[in-house]
Each structure stands twice: as C-alpha cells, then as structure tokens.
Amino acid sequence: MFSIEKRKKEEKSPACCCGEKADAASCDNGNLVVKVLGSGCKSCHALLENTQVAVKEMGKENEIQIEYITDLKKMMSYGVMSMPALVIGEKIVSAGKVLKPDEVRKLIEYGG
C-alpha cells in the first residue's frame, strides 16, 4: 500500500530541468539536450549558430546542452528526411528550414 503511494509521487516529479518526464537520451545530468541534425551545409551551420544564440540569449548555457549531429546513421534514426532538423528532448520540432534565434527560443521554452 505504501509502495503504491511512493510510485505515484515519483511519477509526478519531473526528471529534467525542462519540467517533463524525460529519458536519459533527452537529458544529460539534468540538462536539456537540443540537437541540430545536418550534413554540414551552410543551412545546417546557420541553424546551429541560431540555436547557440537563442540559448545564450536565454542565459541557459549551463542548463541546455547543444549537440551537432552529422552522422548519417544517427540522423536517419530520427526519421527526418529534410535537413537541417532541430530535436528538443528527443522530439523533432523542426525540419527542412533554418529557424531564427527567437523561433528556436520559443520552441525550447514551450517544449517544441
């Protein structure tokens, strides 16, 4: 009986700084992981830079980890066919366009 109540409490507590239950792949040591998927082209680098600017403007450089993924196998595992793509907490939130820093910031703030 007591173990059921304990489980309910555990399920309600967020596992991440983003305020949602998250698995190990979407959060790293309590930090939200934002991934930019791209082949290394100009557009992909632009999205990476805009993502970095957005995180810096938010003042969350210590809370949000940005990864740039160019490995084709890893990119294909997300099922995205258009690059660049933005993944927030293992959820694809944008594909095929370069987002401006304020657009990236809104997606991060509202969880995609």
Residues 48-92 have pLDDT tens digits of 999 999 999 999 999 999 999 999 999 999 999 899 999 999 999
Average pLDDT of the residues of the chain: 81
Q: What is the CATH number of the domain that holds 72?
A: 3.40.30.10
Pick from 55, 66, 60, 64: which is nearest to 29 by CA?
Answer: 64
Confidence (pTM): 0.74
% of the chain residues with pLDDT over 70: 72
Q: Which domain holds residue 53?
A: 2-109
Structural domain count of the chain: 1
Q: What is residue 56's DSSP assignment?
A: H
Give the residues across from 34 on adjacent strands: 66, 88
- pLDDT at residue 111, rounded to an integer: 72
5 falls in which pLDDT band (50, 70, 90)? low
Question: Which two tokens mark 89?
Answer: 């907490």
Give the residues across from 69 on adjacent strands: 37
Pick from 112, 20, 105: which is nearest to 59 by CA?
Answer: 105
